[in-house]
Amino acid sequence: MQSQQVNRSQDGSLASRLNSYLDMDRNMLWDADLEKKIQALTPEQIHQAMKKYIDPKKMVFVKAGDFERVEKAGKP
């Protein structure tokens, strides 16, 4: 939600969104309605949706970085 608010406050992002909304026959009220729906979700509803649509067995987790340097610095 916060990311969406920040995006709308940036001219380029807002212009891009408004331009794409012309093609989709949407307006900023559509955004407001979507945000209300998201805010109304309960943790249980989110959990159920994640269980329905996300299979942890099919997810890929990647760690990247300079682990040797971090170990030398004494950080886990």
Q: How confident is the model at residue 8 (pLDDT cuts 50, 70, 90)?
A: confident
Which letter does DSSP use for residue 73 in this model?
A: T
- The interaxial angle of helices 28-40 and 11-24, nearest 10 deg, is 100
Percentage of the residues of the chain whose pLDDT score is greater than 90: 68
How many domains does one find in the chain? 1
Domain range spanning residue 40?
A: 2-72
pTM over 0.75: no
